[in-house]
Amino acid sequence: MAVRDSVDLGVTPCGGWEFRWGERTYVMGIINVTPDSFSGDGLGGDVEAAVAQGKRFAAEGADILDVGGESTRPDAAPVSAEEELRRVIPVIERLAAEVTVPVSVDTYRYELARRALSAGARMINDIWGLGHDPRLADLAAEYEAPIVLMSNQRDKKCADIVPEVIASLKKSVVMAVDRGVPRQNIIVDPGVGFGKTLEQNLEIVRRLDEFKCLNRPILIGTSRKSMIGLVLNLPPDQRLEGTAATVAISISRGADIVRVHDVAQMVRVCRMSDAVVRGRLP
């Protein structure tokens, strides 16, 4: 039997939208304005292509558009702050003006996050969980924006992955609250990939319900990731079914947001999973 939240996580405002946790699974569509995305979907500096993708994702049912200008794959070349700004800000400006769903900025840099929020972004997605720059929490508080805090193990080895990720997320949540972010604006992400082994990534998905002890909505991003490639021996562009399986299992274990590349297909997976897990019918 599927396990669901026993604690009311409330409502998180995001621009003119509200996330009503527990009612359904929300879909975050990935817009990579990078030339070197691991998944092969990087759009580089093509603003028009990024805007067109964002509009398509919104039409396909995405609830959030997550724009990132730096590849997060382990061997990616570093990107200067200036280059990241050049890639990201024009896309966010256009999307904020031309789509109705909220736009998120995927960054750990303070200045980019500040500029993105000024340009119309309504959420911050920080892959270092405030570990790189705690001032992102100050921005989230100032702009009343939700912030996703991810657990990243690239700087350390973990022997007992789930308790250690939970502990790191607790630390990030406390840091955000101490800097003025309301608890209802905090979302946690266990960080599939990001320094974890295949076995650890599979364990996180299998034990995702344990992260509900944080009493915050859970975002998970398994889409096209290496864990799927390693299990199925497939390249990124052939990992749709593996992604669908991990999305469905994650929802049954308590995921509230799924971050995906293939929006139309994963919206269907979420709807079917929500019908079974949450009893949500059309």
Which two tokens mark 80? 């200067």
For the stretch 205-233, pLDDT in tens is 999 999 999 999 999 999 999 999 999 99
225 is annotated as an active-site residue: yes
What is the b/e burial string over 145-171, where b = at least 16 CB atoms within 10 angstroms of the residue's CB? bbbbbbbbbeeeebeebbebbbebbee
Share of the chain above pLDDT 70, in %: 93
DSSP, residue by residue, 136-149: HHHHHHHHT--EEE
Judged by average pLDDT, the poorest of 76-90, 98-112, 189-203 is: 76-90
Which pTM was predicted? 0.94
* Summary mean pLDDT of the chain: 93
Spot the catalytic one: 259, 268, 271, 278.
259
For the stretch 2-12, pLDDT in tens is 445 457 899 99
When pLDDT is averaged across residues 107-127 and rounded to a whole number, the result is: 97
- At 81 the pLDDT is 87
Please say if the pLDDT value at position 182 is more than 60: yes
Please say if the pLDDT value at position 241 is more than 90: yes
Q: What domains are defined for the chain?
A: 25-274 (3.20.20.20)
DSSP reduced 3-state for 66: strand
Largest CA distance in the chain: 50
- At 1 the pLDDT is 37
- At 263 the pLDDT is 98
Amino acid at 213: C
When pLDDT is averaged across residues 174-203 and rounded to a whole number, the result is: 97
User: Confidence band (pLDDT; 50, 70, 90) for 157?
Assistant: confident
Q: Which among 21, 25, 67, 20 has a CA at the least distance from the CA of 46? A: 67
Cα(15)–Cα(71) distance, integer angstroms: 27
Torsion on CA atoms 32, 165, 113, 258, rounded to nearest 10: 40
Spot the catalytic one: 87, 225, 239, 253.
225
Cα(218)–Cα(165) distance, integer angstroms: 13
Cα(230)–Cα(83) distance, integer angstroms: 32
183 is annotated as an active-site residue: no
Q: Which among 219, 143, 152, 214 has a CA at the least distance from the CA of 179? A: 143
Which two tokens mark 47? 């603003």
User: Confidence band (pLDDT; 50, 70, 90) for 108?
Assistant: very high
Q: Check: CB of residue 9 under 8 Å from CB of residue 21.
A: yes
When pLDDT is averaged across residues 126-133 and rounded to a whole number, the result is: 97
